[in-house]
C-alpha cells in the first residue's frame, strides 16, 4: 500500500509542482496519475521512490515512512519504468533485465532464469532475444524489455511513467492489453502516469486527476466519467465520455439474463405456440447444454408451411462475450443490423441477451446527467 | 577496420622504405643525410617526448575530465570543455614558442608545451563522453537503486570509454606533430633533423625527418584505433553498423 499525506513539492527555482496531495493506493490497485502536461504527475511519482526529495508531507510505503529507508534499498524494491525506457545499450537484454536481481545479490543463474521467465511473460521468445542488444530490438520490443526489467526482482510496487508513450497506437493498444492480463496475474501495486484519458480509463483501478499540482478528483474510471466533479474534469474527460463509458462497461452489465429460449429439438408446432403465448417475434434456440444455436423469427414461420426447425433456424448470426465492451457490442449490432444480440459465455453457453434498448438506456442515463451539467455552467 | 589496417601497413612501409632510401642514397654533393644511428636516437627522443607528455596528459586529463562530471562539480563541465575547445584553436607553433619565455628551452619545456596541448582533447573527451550519455539511461539506473559508484563504474565508464579513447588517439596524433615543432625550443626529437635540413635547404634531411614523423603518427593512430575498437562495447558497435 502506498499512502501520500499532504505531499507538496516546491522546486529550488520556486515552481510549486505539487500542492498538498493526499491519496492512498491499495495493494493490487493500479492508480493512474492523469492530467495535462506540467501538472506534476512525474514529480508526484518520483517522490515515491525518492528520485525527487519531498518538500512537505509524508509518503508511506506499507506503513513505513519512505524517508526512513535507505534510498537505494527502497528503489530496488520498487519497479521503475519510464517513457524513454533507458535500456543500457552496452548490456544484453538478459543483462538489462537482471539489473536489480544482480544488485540484490542473486546468482547469475537465478537472474538469467528470471530474465527468461519475464521475456516469456512479455510475449518475447527468450531464446531469440536474451542475448540481443537493445539496438537490435524494435521500439515495441524495447518497451517490453523496459517493463520486464522493472519487474526484474519481482517488486511488490511499480512506478511507471508513460511506459507505453513512445510507440505507435496499435502496438500501444496491444501492450496495454497484455499488461492488463499480466497485472491480473501478478497483482502489483502500481502508480501509472499518463496524460492520455483513454489509457487511464482502460488501465486504472482508480484515476487521480491532477491540475497545476493539485489533486482534483480521485475515483474509479467509471465514476470519473459518470460524475465529474467540476468543469475541468468534464472538459478533460471529453465530450465523448458516453462513448468512453461504453468502452468501460461490459455486456454482462447491460444484458438481460435468462431470456426466453426453445430447444433445438422441439418441433415447429411447439415453437409457434410458444411465440404466440409469450407474444414475442423471435426466440433463441439452444441445445440441451444451453449452448446457443441460433434464432427463429416469427416472420419466417408465417405463410408457407414450415415443418422442420432447420428450415427457419438462422445459425450464422453475431454474438458477443460476457466481457465484450458495450462499445464493441454496439458495433457488432450495427454491422449485423440487428437490435438484439446474444451474450455468450464459455463454450457458447447462452448467458443473456443484449438489446438496443438496453444500450439506449445506458446512453440515455449519461446524457441526461451531462445535459444537467451543461445547464449549470452555461 | 580491416581496410584501415591494410592502409596503415602500406603507408608505414612506404614511409620507412623511403626513409631508408634517403638514408642510403640521399647524398647531394658534400651534404650527407642523417645516419641510421642518428635517426634511431632522434626517433627514440621523439617517442619519449610524446610518451611522457601523453602519459601526463592522459593521467591528468581523464582524472580531471571525469571529476568535473560528478554532481558537485558539474557546473565546471561546460566552461572547461569550452576552454579546451578554444585552446585547441591555438596553433601548436604559437604554443611551443609561447612556453619558452617562461620555462626556457630544452627537453623539459618541450614536455610542458606538449603536455598542455595534449591535455585538451583528453580532458574534453572524458567530460563529453560522460555528459553525452542519454540522461534517461542514468535516470533508470538511479531509479532501480544503483549507487553513484555503481552507476559510474557499470554504466557511465563503459559508455564513455570509446569517446575517451578516441580523445587519447586524437591527442596522441596531435602530440606527434607538435613534438616535431618542439625542436624549435631544442626539445630534441625528429624535428631537429627536419630543421637542420630546412636551414641547409637540404631535401633529403627534411624528408627523413618528415617521413619518420608521419610514420610514427600513422603507427600510433593505427594502434590506438585498434584499442578503441577493442574497448567499444558490443552493443554500441552494433548501433553504429545499423545507423
Ligand atoms: N527540476 C525542476 N526544476 C524546476 N521545475 C521543475 C523541475 N521539474 C519539473 N518542474 C516543473 O514542475 C511542474 C511539474 O512537472 P512534472 O514533470 O511533474 O509534470 P508532468 O505532469 O509529469 O508533465 P508531463 O506530462 O509533461 O510529463 C512543471 O511546471 C515543470 O516545469
Ligand atoms: Mg512527466
What residue segments make up the domains of chain A, in order of their start? 2-247, 252-363
Mutation target for B interface from A43, A53, A88: give the one with most B CBs within 10 A: A88
pLDDT at residue B242, as a whole number:
55
What is the rounded distance in angstroms from the CA atom of residue B212 to the CA atom of residue B206?
Answer: 10
Give the containing element (helix H, strand E) for A354.
strand A350-355
> What's the CA-to-centroid distance between A192 and ligand 1, angstroms?
16
Domain A2-247 is found in CATH 3.40.50.150 = no
**pLDDT at B243 > cutoff 70:** no
**Which of the ligands is closest to the CA of residue A161?**
2
Q: How many residues does chain B have?
A: 243
pLDDT at site A303:
62
The residue to mutate among A10, A14, A43, having the most atoms of ligand 1 within 8 angstroms of its beta carbon, is: A43
Chain A residues interacting with chain B (CB cutoff of 8 angstroms)? 49, 51, 71-77, 80, 82, 84-92, 99-100, 103, 133-136, 146, 149-150, 152, 159
In this predicted complex, what is the ipTM?
Answer: 0.87
**∠ at Cα A228 (A226, A230), nearest 5°?**
155
Q: How far is the CA of A27 from the centre of ligand 2 (A)?
A: 24
Q: Ligand 1, atom 31: nearest CA belongs to which residue?
A: A38
- What's the CA gap between A154 and A288, in Å, rounded? 47
Residues 6+ apart with CB under 8 A from A371: none
Contact A89 B235 (CB under 8 A): yes
Looking at residue A372, what is its pLDDT? 41
Size of interface A-B (CB pairs under 8 A): 82
User: Does any ligand 1 atom lie closer than 6 A to the CB of residue A41?
Assistant: yes
Average pLDDT over residues B151-165: 96
Question: What pLDDT is stored for residue A117 in this prediction?
Answer: 94
Which of B71, B136, B144 to mutate against chain A (most A CBs within 10 Å)?
B144
Task: Specify the pLDDT at position A133.
Answer: 96
- Whether A187 is in the pocket of ligand 1, judged by its Cβ within 6 Å, is no
CA-closest residue to ligand 1 atom 16: A40
Q: Which CATH architecture has domain B2-233?
A: Orthogonal Bundle (1.10)
SS3 A189: strand
Can you tell me which residue has the cell 548490456? A91
- The tens digit of pLDDT for each residue in A237-262 reads 887 777 777 888 888 888 888 888 88
Ligand 1 neighbourhood includes A83 CB (under 6 angstroms): no
Q: For an interface test with A, which of B145, B238, B241 has the most A Cβ atoms less than 10 Å from its Cβ?
A: B145
Q: Is residue A238 classed as helix, strand or coil in its secondary structure?
A: coil
pLDDT of residue A376: 35
Mean pLDDT over B4-28 rounds to 90
The second-level CATH assignment, the architecture, of A252-363 is Roll (3.10)
Q: What is the pLDDT of residue A227?
A: 87
Do the Cβ atoms of B9 and B218 come closer than 8 Å? no
pLDDT at position A377 is 35
Report the nearest-CA residue for atom 14 of ligand 1: A40
pTM: predicted TM-score of the whole model, two decimal places: 0.81
| Cell numbers for A87 | 535500456
* The three grid cell numbers given for residue B221, joined into one nine-digit string: 593512430
pLDDT on residue A257: 85
What's the confidence (pLDDT) of residue A371? Answer: 44
Residue B46 or A337, more confident: B46
Chain B residues with a Cβ under 8 Å from any Cβ in chain A: 134, 136-147, 150, 155, 158-159, 233-236, 238-239, 242
Q: Are A63 and A223 in contact (CB under 8 A)?
A: no
Q: Where are the domains of chain B?
A: 2-233
The secondary element (H helix, E strand) that includes residue B165 is helix B157-181
Backbone angles phi, psi at B125, to 5 degrees: -70, -35
- Extract the residue ranges of chain A whose pLDDT is less than 70: 303-304, 363-378
Query: Is the distance from the beta carbon of residue A40 to the nearest atom of ligand 1 less than 6 Å?
Result: yes
A121-161 per-position pLDDT tens digit: 888 999 999 999 999 999 889 999 999 999 999 999 999 99
Q: Are A99 and B144 within 8 A, CB to CB?
A: yes
- Strands (E) located in chain A: 2-10, 16-25, 30-34, 56-61, 64-65, 78-82, 157-161, 189-194, 206-211, 214-219, 256-257, 261-263, 282-286, 292-297, 320-321, 340-344, 350-355
Amino acid at each position: 500500500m502506498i499512502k501520500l499525506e499532504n505531499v507538496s513539492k516546491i522546486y529550488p527555482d520556486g515552481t510549486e509542482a505539487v500542492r498538498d496531495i493526499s491519496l492512498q493506493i491499495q495493494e493490487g490497485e493500479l492508480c493512474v496519475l492523469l492530467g495535462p502536461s506540467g501538472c506534476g504527475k512525474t514529480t508526484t511519482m518520483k517522490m515515491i521512490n525518492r528520485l525527487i526529495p519531498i518538500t512537505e508531507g509524508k509518503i508511506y510505503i506499507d506503513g513505513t515512512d519512505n524517508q526512513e529507508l535507505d534510498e537505494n534499498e527502497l528503489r530496488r524494491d520498487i519497479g521503475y519504468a519510464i517513457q524513454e525506457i533507458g535500456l543500457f545499450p552496452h548490456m544484453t537484454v538478459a543483462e538489462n533485465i537482471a539489473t536489480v536481481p544482480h544488485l540484490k545479490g542473486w546468482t547469475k543463474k537465478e537472474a538469467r532464469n528470471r530474465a527468461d521467465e519475464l521475456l516469456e511473460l512479455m510475449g518475447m521468445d527468450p531464446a531469440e532475444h536474451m542475448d540481443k542488444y537493445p539496438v537490435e530490438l524494435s521500439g515495441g520490443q524495447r518497451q517490453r524489455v523496459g517493463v520486464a526489467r522493472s519487474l526484474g526482482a519481482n517488486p511488490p510496487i511499480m512506478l511507471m511513467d508513460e511506459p507505453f508513450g513512445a510507440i505507435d497506437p496499435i502496438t500501444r493498444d496491444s501492450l496495454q492489453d497484455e499488461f492488463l492480463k499480466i497485472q491480473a496475474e501478478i497483482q502489483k501495486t502500481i502508480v501509472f502516469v499518463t496524460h492520455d484519458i483513454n489509457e487511464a480509463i482502460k488501465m486504472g483501478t482508480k484515476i487521480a486527476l491532477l491540475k497545476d499540482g493539485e489533486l482534483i478528483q480521485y475515483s474509479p474510471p467509471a465514476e470519473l466519467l459518470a460524475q465529474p466533479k467540476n468543469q475541468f474534469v468534464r472538459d478533460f474527460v471529453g465530450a465523448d465520455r458516453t462513448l468512453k463509458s461504453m468502452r468501460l462497461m461490459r455486456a454482462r452489465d447491460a444484458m438481460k439474463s435468462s431470456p426466453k429460449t426453445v430447444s433445438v429439438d422441439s418441433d415447429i408446432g411447439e415453437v409457434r405456440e410458444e411465440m404466440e403465448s409469450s407474444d414475442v417475434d423471435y426466440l433463441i434456440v439452444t441445445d440441451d447444454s444451453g449452448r446457443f444455436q441460433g434464432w427463429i423469427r416469427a416472420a419466417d414461420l408465417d405463410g408457407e408451411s414450415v415443418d422442420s426447425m432447420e428450415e427457419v433456424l438462422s445459425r450464422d448470426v453475431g454474438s458477443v462475450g460476457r466481457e465484450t465492451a458495450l462499445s464493441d457490442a454496439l458495433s457488432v449490432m450495427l454491422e449485423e443490423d440487428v437490435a438484439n444480440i446474444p451474450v455468450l459465455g464459455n463454450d457458447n453457453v447462452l448467458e443473456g441477451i443484449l438489446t438496443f434498448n438496453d444500450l439506449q438506456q445506458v446512453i440515455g442515463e449519461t446524457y441526461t446527467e451531462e445535459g444537467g451539467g451543461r445547464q449549470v455552467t452555461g | 577496420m580491416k581496410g584501415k589496417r591494410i592502409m596503415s601497413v602500406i603507408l608505414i612501409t612506404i614511409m620507412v622504405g623511403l626513409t631508408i632510401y634517403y638514408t642510403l642514397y640521399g647524398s647531394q654533393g658534400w651534404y650527407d643525410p642523417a645516419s641510421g644511428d642518428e635517426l634511431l636516437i632522434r626517433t627514440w627522443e621523439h617517442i619519449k617526448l610524446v610518451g611522457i607528455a601523453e602519459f601526463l596528459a592522459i593521467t591528468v586529463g581523464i582524472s580531471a575530465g571525469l571529476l568535473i562530471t560528478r554532481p558537485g562539480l558539474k557546473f565546471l563541465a561546460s566552461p572547461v570543455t569550452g576552454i579546451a575547445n578554444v585552446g585547441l584553436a591555438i596553433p601548436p607553433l604559437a604554443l611551443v614558442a609561447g612556453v619558452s619565455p617562461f620555462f626556457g628551452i630544452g627537453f623539459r619545456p618541450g614536455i610542458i608545451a606538449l603536455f598542455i596541448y595534449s591535455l585538451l582533447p583528453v580532458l574534453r573527451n572524458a567530460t563529453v563522453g560522460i555528459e553525452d550519455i542519454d540522461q534517461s539511461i542514468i535516470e533508470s539506473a538511479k531509479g532501480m537503486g544503483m549507487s553513484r559508484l555503481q552507476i559510474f563504474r557499470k554504466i557511465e565508464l563503459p559508455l564513455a570509454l570509446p569517446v575517451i579513447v578516441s580523445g587519447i588517439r586524437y591527442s596522441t596524433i596531435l602530440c606527434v606533430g607538435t613534438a616535431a615543432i618542439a625542436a624549435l625550443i631544442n626539445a630534441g626529437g625528429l624535428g631537429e633533423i627536419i630543421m637542420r635540413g630546412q636551414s641547409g635547404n637540404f631535401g633529403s634531411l627534411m624528408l627523413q625527418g618528415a617521413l619518420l614523423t608521419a610514420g610514427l603518427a600513422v603507427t600510433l593512430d593505427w594502434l590506438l584505433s585498434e584499442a578503441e575498437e577493442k574497448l567499444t562495447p558490443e552493443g554500441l558497435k552494433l548501433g553504429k553498423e545499423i545507423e
